[in-house]
């Protein structure tokens, strides 16, 4: 089959690899029909996530048709159309039982490695490095789906691929970012990052009843999406001082909740500050560029919530712990427990509360994956989200 593989830093290629087969009794094989490139795939692309090997199949957002199931999979049969959550979760361990699927205790066969770096291991993830399991990803014609009796959700015919594929990661991740804010009437929610996750966090904050939603980015085309599809107010940090603007917009209170949807490869309007963290990252003295996180902590109203759904991999420098502690802030975070959200969000789509496909800017065949990564990385051609058609 054809698959998108990592070929070294800033290089992916579509190549022929063996077809997948059932390895565990609870596996299913899915013929992928639509798959997407995620912002977090760019962290792999840039080589910021350790334990990648050349030849690793990428991709953790995909929908497709079940073609084969293992003997222990009872709820799926060949022909079912499914969307598959990106965290691989067994559904039986204590974490899964508590709904914390992205920290499944069993799905990372390389847990020993992850423990050395993170203390305990999170769940395995499709196509996301050997640190997180060494699973083949879904930017391919076929993919093996472990624990297929837990993750995949059947998609009804009236929901097209372009909507359903967003339920694998970005929509649930954004939604969880908003949900963690415990939004109550009157709340002002600020979102750093207007990529798909940030846009969905903003849209979800609206769905959950936020009074006002403010989105911060530097790409005018993305900020336009936030205004036009979500009704958010926007701040372009290239031409506006973000903290001044937020103080002004909230009459000095600060946002009740701040969502970091940027993560480890942040950008800063101040060239000197950007250069400081970029340089430390280049020599691996820190692994992240946490501008959005620092700013979110300083901007948040006292006693407010800082919700982090942007991806981090290692250590951050200059974490404003003094502000965080003295102003009674709360931080909530986590890789999304997608299995918790796929069905409810699918229902919201079917009820017409939201059409998530507004984030999709590009559709191209799988064979053009390398081009898709390139324009997404360089934000060319107003790129927000690339879908690969198989």
Minimal distance, residue 147 CB to other proteins, in Å: 7
Minimal distance, residue 40 CB to other proteins, in Å: 16
Minimal distance, residue 34 CB to other proteins, in Å: 20
Minimal distance, residue 167 CB to other proteins, in Å: 23
For residue 298, give the 3-state DSSP assignment: helix
Q: Which is nearer to other proteins, 106 or 307 (CB)?
A: 106
Yes or no: say if 206 and 226 are a contact pair by the CB < 8 Å rule.
no
Minimal distance, residue 376 CB to other proteins, in Å: 21
Residue whose token pair is 């109550």: 184
- 196-207 helix and 170-179 helix, angle to the nearest 10 degrees: 50
Minimal distance, residue 113 CB to other proteins, in Å: 5
Q: Which is nearer to other proteins, 305 or 369 (CB)?
A: 369
- Rounded to whole angstroms, how far apart are CA atoms 119 and 390? 38
- Rounded to whole angstroms, how far apart are CA atoms 129 and 335? 15
Q: Which is nearer to other proteins, 73 or 387 (CB)?
A: 73
Q: Which is nearer to other proteins, 51 or 364 (CB)?
A: 51
Yes or no: say if 138 and 164 are a contact pair by the CB < 8 Å rule.
no
367: phi > 0 → left, psi -120 to 50 → alpha, else beta; which? alpha
Minimal distance, residue 135 CB to other proteins, in Å: 5
Nearest to 297 by CA among 251, 334, 335, 242: 242
For residue 257, give the 3-state DSSP assignment: strand
Minimal distance, residue 200 CB to other proteins, in Å: 27
Q: Which two tokens stand for residue 236?
A: 């372009």
Compute the residue count for the chain. Answer: 390
Minimal distance, residue 61 CB to other proteins, in Å: 16
Q: Which is nearer to other proteins, 204 or 335 (CB)?
A: 335
Q: Which is nearer to other proteins, 106 or 361 (CB)?
A: 106
| CB burial readout 246-259, b (16+ within 10 A) else e | beebbeeebbbbbb
- Rounded to whole angstroms, how far apart are CA atoms 51 and 204? 34
Nearest to 140 by CA among 256, 264, 34: 34
**Which spans of this chain sit near other proteins (rule: CB under 8 A)?**
3, 5, 17-21, 23-26, 51, 53-57, 72, 90, 92-94, 97, 105-107, 109-113, 124, 127, 130, 133-137, 144, 146-147
Q: Which is nearer to other proteins, 107 or 342 (CB)?
A: 107
Q: Which is nearer to other proteins, 90 or 305 (CB)?
A: 90
Nearest to 101 by CA among 115, 122, 83: 122
Q: Which is nearer to other proteins, 64 or 310 (CB)?
A: 64
In the chain the first and final C-alpha atoms are separated, in Å, by 11
- Rounded to whole angstroms, how far apart are CA atoms 225 and 17? 38
């Amino acid at each position: 089959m054809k698959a998108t593989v990592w070929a070294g830093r800033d290089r992916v290629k579509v190549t022929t690899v063996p077809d997948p087969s059932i390895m565990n009794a609870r596996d299913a094989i899915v013929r992928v029909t639509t798959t997407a490139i995620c912002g977090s795939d760019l962290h792999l692309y840039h080589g910021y996530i350790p334990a990648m090997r050349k030849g690793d199949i990428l991709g953790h957002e995909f929908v497709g048709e079940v073609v084969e199931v293992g003997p222990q999979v009872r709820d799926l049969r060949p022909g079912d159309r499914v969307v598959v959550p990106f965290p691989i979760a067994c559904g039986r361990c204590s974490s899964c039982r508590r709904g914390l699927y992205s920290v499944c205790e069993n799905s990372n066969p390389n847990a020993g490695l992850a423990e050395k770096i993170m203390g305990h291991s999170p769940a395995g993830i499709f196509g996301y490095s050997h640190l997180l399991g060494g699973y083949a990803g879904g930017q391919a014609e076929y993919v093996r789906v472990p624990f297929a009796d837990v993750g995949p959700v059947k998609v009804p015919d009236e929901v097209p691929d372009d909507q359903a594929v967003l339920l694998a990661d970005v929509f649930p991740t954004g939604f969880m970012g908003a949900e963690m804010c415990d939004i109550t009437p009157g709340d002002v929610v600020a979102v750093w990052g207007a990529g798909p996750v940030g846009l969905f966090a903003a849209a979800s904050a609206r769905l959950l009843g936020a009074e006002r939603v403010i989105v911060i980015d530097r790409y005018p085309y993305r900020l336009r999406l936030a205004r036009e599809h979500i009704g958010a107010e926007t701040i372009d940090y290239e031409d506006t001082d973000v903290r001044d603007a937020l103080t002004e917009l909230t009459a000095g209170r600060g946002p009740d909740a701040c969502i970091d949807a940027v993560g480890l490869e942040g950008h800063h309007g101040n060239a000197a500050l950007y250069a400081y963290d970029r340089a430390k990252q280049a020599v691996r003295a820190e692994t992240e560029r946490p501008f959005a996180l620092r700013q979110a902590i300083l901007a948040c109203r006292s006693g407010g919530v800082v919700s982090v759904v942007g991806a981090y991999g290692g250590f951050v420098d200059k974490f404003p712990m003094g502000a965080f502690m003295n102003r009674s802030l709360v931080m909530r975070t986590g890789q999304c427990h997608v299995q918790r959200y796929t069905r409810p969000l699918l229902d919201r789509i079917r009820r017409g509360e939201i059409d998530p496909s507004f984030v999709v800017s590009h559709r191209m065949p799988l064979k053009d994956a390398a081009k898709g990564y390139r324009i997404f990385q360089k934000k060319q051609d107003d790129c927000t989200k690339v879908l690969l058609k198989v």
